[in-house]
Amino acid sequence: MDGTGIDMAKQRITRKFLLYLFFSGFAALVNFASRFLYETIPGVNFEIAVALAYLTGMIVNFAFSKWITFQAASSGRFRREAVKFFLIASLGLIVTVAISAGALRFFAYAAARWSQVVPSNFDDDIRAATAHLIGMGAGLVMNFFGHEMLSFRETGIYDRLKGILIRDNDDE
């Protein structure tokens, strides 16, 4: 590193990403473990369990992100940060569920098509857990960059959304 602005920005993002990765790891464990609990509820299928687990992990992740990773504990903008975090995390939810469901379907296809290549001990539970982890990884990367760019920064997006919502309510 030569001390240029670009190198310093890379170092800051790398540090934040490592913090995000570390603290999101705990949130991811909550996410991953809670899916198994949600699947025990009658009528809850894989995709719904992944979505509920994601939301559970999201709450844990918000706390770590706000107060530790992005050091926004004293920002005084809890509501706007929570709204932006939820919007970014909602996109992450879509990515996580879509990638998880796609990976699960691919694994089922691969197991049927290439049964001599896929290990016989690669059962449904292992396929589901692996698919969920792949989806979580994709969501983690998307969420980090979304939160880095929007959630804990003053962007004006919250005020614009609030203005649109208030204007729409006044029209009724």
pLDDT along the chain (172 residues), means of 10: 60 77 87 93 93 91 82 76 86 92 90 69 82 91 84 72 70 54
| Residue 52: predicted pLDDT | 94
The pLDDT assigned to 69 comes to 76
Alpha helices in 39-123 (DSSP H): 46-64, 78-113
Instruction: Report the distance separating Cα 168 and Cα 172, nearest Å.
Output: 7
Helix (H, G, I), strand (E, B) or coil at 77: coil
User: What is the model's pTM?
Assistant: 0.65
Note the pLDDT of residue 74: 77
- DSSP-based three-state secondary structure for 31: helix
Dist CA 109 CA 111 (whole Å)? 5
Are 88 and 80 in contact by the 8 Å Cβ rule? The answer is no
